[in-house]
Structure 1
Amino acid sequence: MIDAKEIVRQFLLQVRSGLHPDHADRFMAGRVRAHQVVSEAPEVVERTPAQYTEHVQEMLDAYGAFALTVDELIAEGDRVYARWTQTGRHLGPVDGHEPTGVPVTATTSAVYRVEDGLIVEYWIQIDRQGVAAQLGSPAAGH
């Protein structure tokens, strides 16, 4: 069986990257608890692999074929910490911001819990303020 670290690496590179979003069911359990770590309003949602595929498609609609670079992976037991950088272009509406075509970079980190070879839970943090600043400022350094 592939170890937890490699499962998360392949999930990020194949599914989250937008390369093969329809392969989510190869890496995710039937229901995954997704902890959206937002300081002012934390939320836990459950996602199926099909819903995750839709989520990645929404990112592709908003940012086009984006690049995802895995910057760090650290594993301990059933938990894997991942940090990545995602870069695309603002090609579709995002949080009320109409498309500008400017490059957008998001730095994200998450801890994934893997059980029986599948992701069953994760805690994710996205630099939402940094993304919002890029979307609101078409001429901002890009």
Structure 2
Amino acid sequence: MSMDETATRNKAIFSRFHGAMSSGDPEVIAKAIDELVAPDLQFHAPVPRGMTGVQALKQVWTVLLDGFPDIHVTIEDMIAEGDKVVARNTVTGTHRGDFRGVAPTGRSVTYGEIFIFRFEDGRIAEIWGVVDVLSQMRQLGAA
């Protein structure tokens, strides 16, 4: 497979992953993670303590959906080259549940994030994430 074909395939897998994460349905998200993410995922992002890989990724989505049931991730830029896909996203949601120790405020939040996904054998094998947590917490009145 050429570099262009690999990049195109990885973008398609990422788009399926993103579609599932945007569903708001924990079962759809968990199923997509099991299907599209390598079991030994390396996950470099602000993740729950004592968890790694796929377990941590599922927990991140559980926490986000609990705090922001209407969470929506808009892809602003998607760049694919070789075995990596980079996504710059805008995240929006309404704070309707406990999140990082903050009781529901009903406030809307908007923050940015950038993620790099590395693919191996057609699955997401590694994720690096930078999330504007400070902006997120400021909007909740917690920073």
What is the TM-score when the length of structure 1 is the normalising length?
A: 0.81
Shift in Å, 1:18: 3.1
**Counterparts of 1:24 and 1:85, CA distance in 2:** 21
Show structure 1 runs of 5+ residues with no match: 38-42, 138-142
Indicate the RMSD between aligned Cα atoms, in angstroms. 2.2
Name the structure where strand makes up a greater proportion of residues: 1
- 1:74 paired residue number: 79
Distance 1:17 1:51 in 2: 19
8 Å CA contact 1:13–1:68 kept in 2: the answer is no
SS in structure 2 opposite 1:133? Answer: helix
* Kept after mapping to 2: 8 A contact 1:17/1:66: no
1:8 aligns with 14
Cα pair distance change 1:135/1:59, threshold 3 Å: same
Aligned to 1:95: 100
Residues 107-122 of structure 1 aligned to structure 2 (within 5 Å): 107-122=112-127
User: How far has the Cα of 1:16 moved from its partner?
Assistant: 5.6
1:23-42 matches, within 5 Å, as 23-36=32-45
Equivalent residues of 1:104, 1:135 under 8 A apart: yes
TM-score by length of 2: 0.80
How far off is 1:51 after superposition?
4.4
| Gaps in structure 2 of 5+ consecutive residues | 1-5
